[in-house]
A = this chain, B = another copy of it.
Amino acid sequence: MQLGGNGNGLGAGPLDVVRGEDGFWSVTTPPAVPGFHYYWLLVDGVAVNDPSSETYFGFGRPTSGVEVPEQGVDFYDVKDVPHGEVRARWYHARTTDAWRRAYVYTPPDYDTNTGARYPVLYLQHGAGEDERGWSTQGRANFILDNLIAAGKARPMVVVMDCGYTFPIRVPFGAVPTVQELEQIGEAFGNLLIADLIPMIDATYRTIPGREQRAMAGLSMGSMQTLQITLNHLDTFAYIGAFSGPFSRLKGFDLQNTASGVFSDPAAFNQKVLLFWLGAGTAEERIHGLAKAAHEALDRAGVKHVFYESLGTAHEWQTWRRSLNDFAPRLFI
């Protein structure tokens, strides 16, 4: 058996599954951290899914997954509160001359409070995932339902689209290069600005304008968020980077990082209403990069939030917690 993540307590290498005398195959894993974990079975070296698991689109294909509950934590559970909807919305993108499907969360009162208009969060998945990830693996709809019911977040529309603009995705098991990620991000950014945002603002009762528009993403989606928003501060005022700092940020360079957008901290602070960076403490490399960025931004006087998810890895539990921290800070 192979686990899709690492730093989750389950080890990075494959685990041996042993056939017992009763004909059943079994494996005992080390204790896992809480949250959602991708996994698959290796049969003679070929990766196949567990026939007893639902599948989740990750690693560029449907992949088995298992949920480990976190004791005493229910912020992403379905609860007895008013529920919004996740709507599959088909639209034609001129940028690619293709039909696409976005998932759109509408808040619980959307269909009853018909005079109301709403701010919009664009929320992106990671490499190898698609528009289904945030609602299925991430439970973004339940997180928003619960925050809104508790009065902790403003009712908002959340748009979850596919961050790829072409059918070829990163092959199973391959790690995308920085160049590939930047090309993917540039193409998606063009589509987001030219097609997706205008379609959303024309179709839903949104409040247009940068101060009512946020973007966030996880991992590859975080890099896309930074790449796109920092080049379009006229379009977005709220920015969330979940487990994906600047792709080239080995050392933070105030003058040159992100085309110099940080070189005038006062101007940045005035323009950007929220700049949010976060990572799990168990995803050591990315946590280190995020922390270094945080410290450099602090030194430069760039206002931001730095969030650490204790003990969680480059996995959905980190991103559920990130959304739960990020969403209440939006549009206030």
Contacts and interface: CB of A to CB of B under 8 A. Distances in A.
Interface string A48-72: 1101111100000110000000000
Contacts of A49: 48-49, 51, 55, 62
Contact of A46 (B51, B83, B86): B51
A87 B87 contact: yes
A51 B172 contact: yes
Interface stretch (A88-96, A175-183, A226-234, A281-289): A88-96
A99 B142 CA distance: 12
Given A61-B51, A62-B49, A86 B88 contact: yes
A113 to B, nearest CB: 12
Contacts of A53: 62
Interface residues of A, number: 32
Interface string A93-131: 000000100001000000100100000000000000000
A135 interface: yes
Given A49-B49, A172-B51, A78 B62 contact: no
Interface in A191-247: 203-204
B87 A86 contact: yes
Nearest to A49: B49
A85 interface: yes
Contact of A87 (B61, B62, B85, B91): B85
Nearest to A86: B88
Contacts of A135: 88
Contacts of A85: 87-89, 104
Contacts of A92: 80
Nearest to A78: B99
Given A80-B92, A85-B104, 11 more contacts: A43-B48, A46-B51, A51-B61, A51-B172, A52-B61, A53-B62, A55-B62, A78-B99, A88-B141, A90-B141, A114-B114
28 contacts: A43-B43, A43-B48, A46-B51, A48-B48, A48-B51, A49-B51, A49-B62, A51-B61, A52-B61, A54-B62, A55-B55, A62-B62, A78-B90, A83-B89, A83-B90, A83-B91, A85-B87, A86-B87, A86-B88, A87-B87, A87-B88, A88-B88, A88-B135, A88-B141, A90-B141, A111-B203, A111-B204, A114-B114
